[in-house]
Amino acid sequence: MCFVSHPMNSKNIKKKLFLASRWLHIYLSTVLFSLLLFFCLTGVVLNHVDWLDNTSEEGEMTVSMALSESQEQQSLQQVLPYIQKYLLDKYHLETIKTVEFDRESKEIIFDYSLPAGYALVIADIPANQLTIEYSKGNWVNVWADLHKGRHSGEVWSWVIDISAIFMSLFAISGMVILFQNRKKRTKGILAALFGTLSPVILYWFFVPYLSSA
């Protein structure tokens, strides 16, 4: 038995593809509107590092931990999870860079890296108190670090990855829509080639590099 594909099937598939691409392109543009502007603007800031200043809010505070008598008698490793949870719930300090134990003084030192800043926490078990030294960068510096995903945590890392996937789909769906428009297809392809080749040429001729011997 011989099967012959009907020309209408091909047309229906193309029509569904174009409709799906148009729908995807429109709604991805709305979902990505704010994030795309954010990454574009912060990218410009990062390209002009002289706009970033070193002004930051620095300080130190000492607060009570409210450890129970039984917890005060525990080892540093045993009381560690409680202090971590307290710092997370009270001060939103989540990702620890390093943890050090001073068994002689019975202290735990937490080092947290933050976007454009840091927090150094010293947990004094005998005194039942926390000393928090911190530095907070201004909003420009914080946004610049968010653009790079620097010290921004796992959730923001997912935001960057998912945004990159959505932006790729946005670009691909735009090209699919372009191929539907016969009148503008040639000019659109030429524009895409220009946008692809011009950065490569500019990089090749104008970006400094070290050639191999």
Residues 197, 126: Cα–Cα separation, whole Å:
65
pTM passes above 0.85:
no
Residue-level pLDDT at 52: 73
Q: Any bridge partners for residue 122, and if so which?
A: 109, 131
Of 3-7, 15-19, 153-157, least confident by mean pLDDT is: 3-7
Nearest one of 72, 45, 177 to 126, comparing CA atoms: 72
- Provide the pLDDT for residue 10: 74
Under DSSP, is residue 74 helix (H, G, I), strand (E, B) or coil?
coil
d(CA 43, CA 163): 15
More confident residue, 121 or 20: 121
3-state helix, strand, coil in the chain (%, to 5): 60, 20, 20
